[in-house]
Amino acid sequence: MRVAGFTGVTDNGDVTDLPRRAVSRTARLATLPLGFAGRTALGVGKRVGGKPAEAVAAEVQLRTAEHMFRVLGELKGGAMKFGQAMSVFEAAIPEELAAPYRASLAKLQDAAPALPADRVHAVLAEQIGPRWRARFLDFDDTPAAAASIGQVHRATWRDGRPVAVKIQYPGAGPALRSDLAQIGRMMRMVGPISPGMDMAPLVDELQRRMGEELDYRREARSQRAFRKAFATHPDFMIPEVVFASDEVLVTEWIDGTPVREIIESGDQAARDHAGLLMARLLFSGPADAKLLHADPHPGNFRLLDDGRLAILDFGAVDRLPQGLPRPIGVLARLAIDGDAQGVLGGLRREGFVRDSVTIDADELLGYLVPLLEPLRHETFAFSRPWLRGEATRLADLRKATTGMKLNLPPSYLLIHRVTLGVMGVLCQLGSTAHFRGECERLLPGFADGE
């Protein structure tokens, strides 16, 4: 049994069916929490047997990362969409794992099943009309890029403009929703492990936000809003939307150097510049457009010859009518100033520490401050070793009780995801960025701490 439109591509380019039947996909996804539980139990056993906690935590982290990226990359659909969000944290994986898997993680960000030309034509006829070819001077049947729920073709619009035509896979909606439901059930299993986390509303928000990426008309509205807000911005370029329907989106074609290429082979100047602009976008979107670009993986960004950063793919966008919440800046300032009680009180007010949870303020501050190291210096050199060190520290079984007491309010879900995602990309770039200066200029509450 096949879901229409979903065929896969092997590493050597051969087309193959993917495991997509509900029972098969559910079984594969179920191996993730089961595998994590087994590795954690094994880790506890090793600690009891005398193995150092740091070594145990690193081993659990390594095996979990390997398993997660392999399964999510193979399943595509919603599972791959979740994997793409996770793949920006590649820099946190120990080097002995990251080196052989870096290429496959990069492919996870862009690679996906290719839709055959006849199916592409059928979608275009349905979405644009039977005379869809009259809209284009030419259309390349070979996809230029493919992702989890759609693929992009290069074409020339009837007025002579080069355009990118994004086409949603037939059947992508049901497959995405099915995968998100299964991932949601898996995440709810984390509840007993993290007693401070209220999982139900968080899972609902994640499913709703990822489900929004199926709505290409909504994506077009978001892209137009970004383009209007950044029309004269010296640092950012947003492609114009040419046409939008439920399952087809046509935008200007943008050339430039993909940020992934800069990660792989760019010189330090390009790494620093790309990193600074990505950090600036984190704050400029909410400040100027009242919107947050919520999909910060490297495949969505191009560095142009004029030095601007071109931003692609607006399927995941958070609407922030008041900009970034002021408490983020206030709490960051209190933390780096060492005000433990102020941090704890503020986190309780915002819902990051639930009323029923008891937590030591000084331990909480010690847990959080190392993550804010980039804000304690005028410039900060982001690096894979720094991020790996933080990942190992947070996974240390001796300190895990503090992290397990923290909650993530649904309204902060995408902000949290994007902030960590941007930091992950900066570490992949090895960028030295004036992160603190951007916060002082654009993050409400950070400069004055009140």
What is residue 399's predicted lDDT score, i.e. its pLDDT? 58
User: Rg of the chain over CA atoms, in angstroms?
Assistant: 22
Q: Which of 78-82, 403-407, 423-427 has the lowest mean pLDDT?
A: 78-82
Per 3-state DSSP, the chain is made up of helix, strand and coil in percentages (nearest 5) of: 55, 10, 30
Name the most confidently modeled range: 63-72, 146-155, 180-189, 395-404.
Answer: 146-155
What confidence category does residue 392 fall into, taking pLDDT thresholds of 50, 70 and 90? Answer: confident
Q: Cβ(353)–Cβ(405) under 8 Å?
A: yes
* The pLDDT of residue 313 is above 80: yes
What is residue 340's predicted lDDT score, i.e. its pLDDT? 97
What is residue 311's predicted lDDT score, i.e. its pLDDT? 97
Give the mean model confidence (pLDDT) for residues 263-271.
96
Distance CA 136, CA 156 (A): 6
Distance CA 446, CA 337 (A): 11
What is residue 80's predicted lDDT score, i.e. its pLDDT? 52
Q: Which two tokens stand for residue 293?
A: 């670009």
β-partners of residue 302 are: 258, 310
What is residue 264's predicted lDDT score, i.e. its pLDDT? 92
What confidence category does residue 337 fall into, taking pLDDT thresholds of 50, 70 and 90? Answer: very high
Give alpha helix (H) positions in 258-360: 259-265, 268-284, 326-336, 340-350
What is residue 299's predicted lDDT score, i.e. its pLDDT? 87
Q: Which of 184-193, 198-207, 252-261 has the lowest mean pLDDT?
A: 184-193
Q: Cβ(83)–Cβ(109) under 8 Å?
A: no
- Report the candidate in 63, 103, 110 with the shortest Cα–Cα distance to residue 84: 110
Compute the residue count for the chain: 450
End-to-end CA distance of the chain: 59
State the DSSP code for 94: -
Higher pLDDT, 66 or 326: 326
87, 110, 148 from 76: Cα distances, Å: 13, 11, 6
Distance CA 65, CA 87 (A): 10
* The pLDDT of residue 378 is above 80: yes
What is residue 398's predicted lDDT score, i.e. its pLDDT? 59
What is residue 214's predicted lDDT score, i.e. its pLDDT? 86
Q: What is the mean pLDDT of the chain?
A: 78
What confidence category does residue 263 fall into, taking pLDDT thresholds of 50, 70 and 90? Answer: very high
Write out pLDDT tens, residues 282-294. 999 999 999 999 9
What is residue 162's predicted lDDT score, i.e. its pLDDT? 98
Name the most confidently modeled range: 113-122, 164-173, 251-260.
Answer: 251-260
Residue with tokens 């879901």: 3
Give the mean model confidence (pLDDT) for residues 362-373.
93
Give the mean model confidence (pLDDT) for residues 132-140.
97
Q: Which of 104-108, 328-332, 364-368 has the lowest mean pLDDT?
A: 104-108
The DSSP code sequence of 20-74 is -SHHHHHHHHHHHHHHHHHHHHHHHHHHHTT--HHHHHHHHHHHHHHHHHHHHHH
